[in-house]
């Protein structure tokens, strides 16, 4: 981990803040994403996780602080620009069309074509083959790429979305609560693919409110609370217990325990 410290981060936020009118959504948040590493952003509801994602994904612009991509100071103007710079975001409500086959979904919006003039057509063989191969590379064992994506489980769909982002050349993968709606087993499956993406050299931002999931795969942990950063740790500087305690509200939890005991 020490050698990665020296490298330029793929994405580096320092002291970033964002205001909506007179509402402070984010204040002084710093975060680094390195190739082949997973940076976890933890926080309860309303902590500012979504705002942070939107800034990295190019949906919103930050008001203060700096956002650097590959060490270059940048301001992302649109999701398209973020995508072009290699930042792919997989949102919670996945961008898939349930009734369409997996392979059509995989390439939706970026279909490869062959032929010329009126006979210009999708390269269906290539699309089918690539979908199967890319999913296999992520360790996703799909029965049939022709099945509607809606017949896959939530975890599998999440994995297809991740594989898709990887295939289309993402360098940084931003995952918005990928395990939030999933059961224990499914969550494990998704985390495995997140790790697989990391092993392929991508930098991953994993947004979650589950410290156990975060600690399983994370290299860095950024804790948000009410729009401010309350912690920024590397893996070797914090234990799971400490992370859980801080995430659960730290001293507030102790107070709560105390209160409940008396009640």
Partner 1 sequence: MSATDATTADERILQTSPLRKLLGRPELGSVVGAIAVFVFFAFAADSFLRASSISTVLYASSTIGIMAVPVALLMIGGEFDLSAGVMVTSSALVSSMFSYQMTANVWVGVGVSLLVTLAIGAFNGFMLTRTKLPSFIITLGTFLMLTGMNLGFTKLIDGTVSTKTIADMEGFPSARDVFASTITVGGVGFKITILWWLALVAVASWILLRTRAGNWIFAVGGNQEAARAVGVPVTKTKIGLYMGVAFGAWIAGQHLLFSYDVVQSGEGVGNELTYIIAAVIGGCLITGGYGSAVGSAVGAFIFGMTSKGIVFAEWNPDWFKFFLGAMLLLATLLNAWVRKRAEATK
Q: CB neighbours of 239 closer than 8 A, spacing ≥ 6?
A: none
Residues 6 or more apart whose CB falls under 8 angstroms from that of 60 comprise 18, 51, 54
Binder of partner 1 out of 28, 71, 139, 169 (CB under 8 A): 139
Cβ burial 87-115 (10 Å sphere, 16+ → b, else e): bbbbeeebebeeeebbbbbbbeeeeeeee
Q: Which stretch binds partner 1 (CB under 8 A): 33-41, 46-54, 121-129, 169-177?
A: 121-129
Closest separation between CB of residue 61 and partner 1, Å? Answer: 19
Residues numbered 55-94 forming contacts with partner 1, rule: CB under 8 A: 80, 91, 94
The correct pick among 2, 3, 73, 120 for binding partner 1 (CB under 8 A) is 120
Q: Of 233, 184, 236, which is closest to residue 40 (Cα–Cα)?
A: 233
Residues 216 and 198: beta-carbon distance below 8 Å: no
Closest to partner 1 by CB, 78 vs 237, is 78
Q: Are 37 and 198 in contact (CB under 8 A)?
A: yes
Q: Which stretch binds partner 1 (CB under 8 A): 10-18, 30-38, 142-150, 202-210?
A: 142-150
CA distance 41 to 38: 10
Please identify which residue in 4, 30, 44, 124 interacts with partner 1, judged by CB under 8 A: 124
Q: Is residue 169 part of the contact set for partner 1 (CB under 8 A)? A: no
Q: What is the CA radius of gyration of the chain?
A: 20
- Helices of type H across the chain: 2-6, 49-57, 79-84, 102-107, 124-137, 154-167, 184-199, 211-217, 240-247, 251-262
Considering only residues 18, 49, 54, 104, which one is a binding residue for partner 1 as defined by CB under 8 A?
Answer: 104
Q: Residue 126, interface with partner 1 (CB under 8 A)?
A: no
Q: Of 13 and 207, which CB lies nearer to partner 1 in the complex structure?
A: 207
Three-state secondary-structure class, residue 102? helix
The number of beta carbons lying within 10 Å of the beta carbon of residue 252 is: 10
- Counting contacts by CB under 8 A, is residue 258 touching partner 1? no
If one asks whether residue 132 binds partner 1 (CB under 8 A), the answer comes out as yes
- Which tokens in the block code for residue 87? 């930042």
Which residue stretch of 39-47, 69-77, 114-122, 228-236 sits at the interface with partner 1 (rule: CB under 8 A)? 114-122
**Which 3 state secondary structure label does DSSP give 180?**
coil
Q: Is 180 in the site for partner 1 (CB under 8 A)?
A: no
> Given candidates 68, 100, 248, 253, which one binds partner 1 under the rule CB under 8 A?
100
Q: How far is the CB of 188 from partner 1 (least distance, A)?
A: 16
Is residue 220 within the footprint of partner 1 (CB under 8 A)?
no
- CB of residue 87 to partner 1, shortest distance in Å: 14
Does position 35 bind partner 1 by CB under 8 A?
A: no
Positions that interact with partner 1 (CB under 8 A): 80, 91, 94-100, 104, 107-111, 113, 120-122, 124, 132, 136-137, 139, 141-144, 148, 150-154
């Amino acid at each position: 981990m020490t050698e990665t410290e020296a490298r330029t981060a793929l994405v580096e936020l320092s002291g970033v803040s964002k205001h909506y009118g007179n509402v402070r959504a984010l204040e002084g948040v710093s975060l680094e994403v390195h190739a082949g590493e997973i940076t976890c952003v933890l926080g309860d509801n309303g902590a500012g996780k979504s705002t942070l994602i939107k800034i990295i994904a190019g949906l919103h612009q930050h008001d203060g602080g700096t956002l650097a991509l590959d060490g270059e100071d940048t301001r992302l103007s649109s999701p398209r620009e973020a995508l072009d710079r290699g930042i792919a975001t997989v949102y919670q409500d996945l961008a898939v069309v349930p009734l369409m086959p997996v392979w059509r979904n995989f390439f939706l919006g970026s279909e490869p074509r062959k032929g010329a003039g009126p006979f210009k057509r999708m390269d269906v063989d290539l699309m089918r083959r690539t979908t199967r191969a890319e999913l296999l590379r992520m360790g996703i064992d799909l029965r049939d790429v022709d099945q509607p994506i809606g017949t896959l489980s939530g975890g599998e769909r999440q994995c297809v979305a991740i594989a898709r982002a990887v295939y289309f050349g993402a360098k940084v993968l931003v995952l918005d609560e990928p395990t939030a709606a999933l059961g224990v087993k499914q969550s494990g499956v998704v985390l495995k693919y997140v790790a697989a993406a990391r092993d392929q050299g991508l930098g991953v931002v994993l947004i979650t409110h589950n410290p156990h999931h975060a600690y399983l795969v994370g290299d860095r942990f950024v804790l948000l609370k009410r729009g401010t950063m309350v912690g920024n740790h590397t893996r070797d500087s914090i234990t799971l217990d400490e992370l859980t305690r801080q995430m659960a509200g730290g001293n507030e939890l102790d107070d709560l325990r105390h209160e409940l005991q008396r009640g």
